[in-house]
Amino acid sequence: MVPETPSKGGHGIAFTISPSWKFTNGVASNYLGLLNASKNGLPTNHVLAIELDTVEGQDVQDMDNNHVGIDVNSLKSIESATATYFSDQEGKNISVELLSGNPMHLWIEYNETEKLLNVTLAPAGITKPNRPLLSTRIDLSQYLLESMYVGFSAATGTVTSDQYILGWSFNKSGQAQSLDVSKLPQPPRQRKSKDRQGQIIMILIIAVVVVLISVTAAIFVLRRKKYAEILEDWESEYGPHRFSYKNIYKATKGFSDKELLGEGGFGKVYKGILRSSNTQIAVKKVSHDSKQGMKEFVAEIVSMGRLRHRNLVQLLGYCRRKGELLLVYDYMPSGSLEKFLHGNGRTKLNWLQRFQIIKGVASDLLYLHEEWEQVVLHRHVKSSNVLLDAELNGKLGDFGLARLYDHGAIPQTTNVAGTVGYLAPELARTGRATTCTDVFAFGAFMLEVACGRKPVDIRGLPEEAILVDWVFGCWRKGAILDASDPKLEGNYAVKEMELVLKLGLLCSHPTPAVRPSMRQVMQFLDGNAELQELPHESTSFGNFTNVEASEILLSINSSFDKGLTASSSTDSVLYSSR
């Protein structure tokens, strides 16, 4: 900075990152052409400046007339220091006169991981000091936008000075290239003072601030876009339920294919480890169609994060980014039940393990339907969403499609969602999910676990493509055990196998009124109620008559009247009427 007269010049110069290169409302003097009195300090400014200030401005509370400051959205520095540099040889700070006219180096460095901003000053030709002049912890991602301009700003006051940038180096994704001072252009020629009185021609050695910006910190320009996520004011109330995209991204190693656990129609699931707590997690990416308000959708997700049941995979929280919703769950090391039923792995599930898994999922649905503060419709019960822990205990997971409503209210969900083979037939007509539709999916799930076959498999014989029809056919012939999984090699409890197969058929009945409630299902599985026989007259399971349906329901209810509450016996009728 070359003053017009010795030690008297303009207000200084600033390295600046701002959302615009136009400062139409900027004022000179203490505001360095960046802001004005009315805008100074506004959080909407999104301005970062490193100032080399040569005037002590009272209105911005400058410390002296020769200082370096860090400015965020205001020319009132959040941290400043008199211009000095640390001499390694002398072991002390040495003053630097900003208006000396001598070339100087300025280093500005930002560590995005540590949130640390360092500013170092020294005369040109001196190796960068080991100690910075200014060092402050600040999260610049909170102040800067995704797209920013980088440059310099200067302003004059009642007296003038010339500012020269002889060279500068900037890198937004790593270490900036070092400048070779010997190769920089020569400073401008000395200029004469306007005051020619006397023989003194003020030699204004054209000083320049040689700015070397080793701004590793400008990484934030790219990384801010990389980690950009949606965050609205109303989400602040959810606190710990919201995960930052950056933490999830790092936990999954950038959603690496090596961390991919599985992929389905509603997204991919990745394994991750939260570095802060060394906790293993599973992260599912779900696309949200925005037909339901995002605020309401997230509110339901957060509410379901409060669900607590020993057989439920814990939903830890969520993150939103662009059109994606990221759901964070506890990690289940043994993977999905589907892998054990239909995969080629060496580990097989015996009947005891399968029966316990069925009972565990049934208890989950009973909890969701009747025992929590609201009714939870899972809407996605299937073997791939039942996950196994290290001891092969089954836990129901994936609440990406679940919906809530108050007990006694009418469900408002009208869009069809789920997987073919688990979808209740009435969903095609009404599109409305109820507890009865969850029961239907659970029925398909029970048959799948007992038979070791998928609910729909077009690769086999036509008469065996639909699992429920095939099992019903075996039962009509008086050989229902023929439907059991051949992998079990007959090693099962006959009464339990018959119960599961028959109960699976009943839960999969096309008439919602015939299906039992989950409370009734648990009574059957626990042996506290006797399952009545289904009629043999129908040619296929899908063709039960309404009369037969009524007879089945009456026979079920009569068994419950002996030892169960009346409300349990009417649950399926009540919900199906919706």
DSSP string, 209-231: EEEE---GGGHHHHHHHHT----
Measured between alpha carbons, how far is 249 from 283 in angstroms, rounded to an integer? 10
Give residue-wise pLDDT tens across range 381-440.
999 889 998 899 999 887 655 555 444 544 544 455 567 888 899 988 888 889 999 999
Could you give the CA distance from residue 121 to residue 106 in angstroms, rounded to a whole number? 5
304 closest CA partner among 328, 338, 284, 277: 328
Confidence at residue 323, expressed as pLDDT on a 0 to 100 scale: 66
Token pair 């936990």 in the structure block, residue: 251
What is residue 92's predicted lDDT score, i.e. its pLDDT? 87
Residue 198 has pLDDT above 70, yes or no: no
pLDDT more than 70, % of the chain: 72
Q: What is residue 417's predicted lDDT score, i.e. its pLDDT?
A: 58
Q: What is the pLDDT of residue 232?
A: 59
| Architecture of domain 334-576 in this structure | Orthogonal Bundle (1.10)
* Residue that wins the pLDDT comparison between 446 and 153: 446
The residue that leads in pLDDT, 367 or 240, is 367
Match 């060496």 to its residue by tokens.
346
Q: What angle do CA 499, 562, 545 make, to 5 degrees?
A: 55
Please state, for a pLDDT cut of 90, what percent of the chain lies above it: 26
Place of tokens 């008297």: 8
How do residues 234-274 score in pLDDT, each as one tens digit?
455 554 577 888 889 999 999 999 999 887 656 788 999 98
Q: What letters, b where the CB count within 10 A reaches 16 and e where it falls short, cover 108-128? A: bbbebeeeebbbbbbebeeeb
**pLDDT value, residue 544:** 41
State pLDDT tens for residues 476-526: 888 999 999 999 999 999 999 999 999 999 999 999 999 999 999 999 999
CA atoms within 13 A on the CB side of 233: 0
Residues 246, 255: Cα–Cα separation, whole Å: 11
- Helix 435-451 to helix 566-576 angle (10° resolution) is 100
User: Rounded distance, CA 442 to CA 446, Å?
Assistant: 6
**Fold match between domain 228-331 and domain 334-576:** no
Q: Which has the closest alpha carbon to 11: 89, 78, 87, 66?
A: 66
Distance separating alpha carbons of residues 437 and 445, to the nearest angstrom: 12
User: What's the CA angle centered on 20, arms 14 and 24, to 5 degrees?
Assistant: 80
Q: What is the per-residue pLDDT for 534?
A: 66
Q: Report pLDDT for 563.
A: 36
- Domain-by-domain residue ranges, the chain? 2-224, 228-331, 334-576
The token pair that represents 12 in the structure block: 């200084």
Least confident of 89-103, 110-124, 304-318, 544-558: 544-558
Backbone angles phi and psi of 179, in degrees to 5:
-95, 140
Q: Do the beta carbons of residue 37 and residue 54 sit within 8 Å?
A: no
- The fold of 228-331 is Phosphorylase Kinase; domain 1 (3.30.200)
Fold of 2-224: Immunoglobulin-like (2.60.40)
Which range is least confidently modeled, 124-138, 159-173, 308-322, 507-521? 159-173
